[in-house]
Structure 1
Amino acid sequence: MNPNLRHLEVFRLFSRIMSVTETARLLRITQPSVSQALRDLENQLGVELIIRGQGPLKLTANAELLLKNMEDVLDNMQALRERAARLRGEQDNSLAIASVHPLTSWILPQALGRLKGSHPQTRIGLEAYSSREVIKHVQDRTADIGFTFLPVENLDMVVRPLLTTAMVCLLPKDHALAGTVQLTPEALENETVITFGQQVRQEFDVRLSFERGNEAGRFLTTNLSVVSADLVRQGLGIAITLPFVLTPRMTQDIAVSAFRPEIRRSLVAIYLKKPGLSALGKAFLAQVREETRSFAAHLDSLGLFVKPG
């Protein structure tokens, strides 16, 4: 006999608190119902899960081994329910977010903190992807809202501009070029340049700025702007990256200069026209806009190009 999902839910909660009374109270059912559900699950699995005796109830070794599989089943069922709800256009108190990596260091965490303050019961998922993957997840409805860079060539999506900015150079504070307002490829001729991997569009634009873009040992690449900043701290080179890594804490130990020729990138929020954004999604987007304006003011104070959406 296959295990009943309700029985799995009862057992998962019981395994965490090890109390039939408390499990019944939290699930708002009777204690005999909890005890019966636990016995039924044991019968369905054909395995003893609970050691019953004179003392407190304990889980058997078999229960400990099966618990992870039960967790996976229940988590997958929850994901299935949420996916089906999105396909029906019924977005309740859950929000799935897909974003490019640079926003996960400051803007989105700040916005999520505000959202959780006003909607504490909200179930939130935040996943980081490449720009193209963000678009795909929104298109497939595995994400309610996405944050990515233009271009977005999908007529089924609403595209909301958030911020346009330009690539910058990150340097160690004690570097000879630190304090230079603008840095060019000529100024970086004798430097190791840290950039994104070649699958990223801005990497291609950066390489075009250098006459000897394929010179052996000239470039050190990474796929994350946060990692590029860490490499700068270790004195491994000068990074050319998007400025979203420049949180207030980040600028305490890293110098920043504008990069020329200017390479601009426009950040946008995207979601499907149908079913559109839920009330929760709209509230979150409003928080992101507020954090984006605050971050734009921070970049402006550093003398960097920024144009709020």
Structure 2
Amino acid sequence: MEMAQVLAEPGDVRHGFSYYTSFNHDFGHITGIAATRNGNIMLCDYDNKNLILVDPSGIMLKHLCVDSEPYDLTITSQNIGFITLPNTRSLLQIHPDRMVILFKAKCDDLNTSVLCVSAIPNTGEDVISNFACFLGIKRHGSFYAMPFFKRCDEEINFRKLTDVVDQGGQPGQYIYPFPVHSRVLKFHALDEKSVFTCKGGQNYITYSQQYEFHGNITIATIDTPSDICNDDYKHIYISGQGSNILHRLKWDGKVVLDLRVHDKNAHDWKVIDIPLDSKHGINKPVAMCFNQNYTKFYVVNEWGKSVLWSLMFIDD
């Protein structure tokens, strides 16, 4: 068993990954991955139009055929899954451990679709929060991160969503959609007010906080970032094409007091390369996630053909 470790700065927690194993089930092209509350892992197989559920070690449990290519998925703290099918402008809500579709919503507007989704961590019933995830809405070539409220037992009204985007927000509410640059591939919500986005063809990720653009964080060894996730210490992890190394962003503790933040404040996130490389199994990573108690880490590998997983250790 090979091991790789990130050494801590004084006062920080030391993180590391112990490489364990990898698995595949004749995947076509895995584009999204997320962990359920029970510790299982759900995957979007884009080419085969399948949703796949595996146990924590990669053993196949269930698969579910869908009528279009699933691209991205997220699972909220309430253990509700959302899957995007952008080619048919559709969104599925699913019970992930039972693999039961709760509803499907489709947008009739040819200029609007939900491209990707991101759950907000730790929004259980004991947490005061208005919504549990963001929907990444593509609208007339622009991209918006739209809050999706926790009362998600009714079918999504896409007409209402498009009206909200066009009008800049719902009257009487403080929550507005994040306007994000075009060419977004994936995005990640750190909390209700902080969003990171990946853009195609760029070696940086964009950081927005409190609905203001905070700038770009450059990662020189990445051609195009492919996915973003975070651990329980709110460190950000990034995978990307052109790099077989995972990258971690750590906030250096600076407090921004200005109402409007300039690009330079994105540099308050320090980039740390995690010395995992191809000998540990990472090769052309596409997507990644932690399980919900942050003890295991999964990477969709080889352009989405396999998944490797490792144990995470934290040394105080």
User: TM-score, normalised on structure 2?
Assistant: 0.21
User: TM-score, normalised on structure 1?
Assistant: 0.21
Greater relative contact order structure (CA < 8 Å, 6+ sep) = 1
Greater strand share, structure number = 2
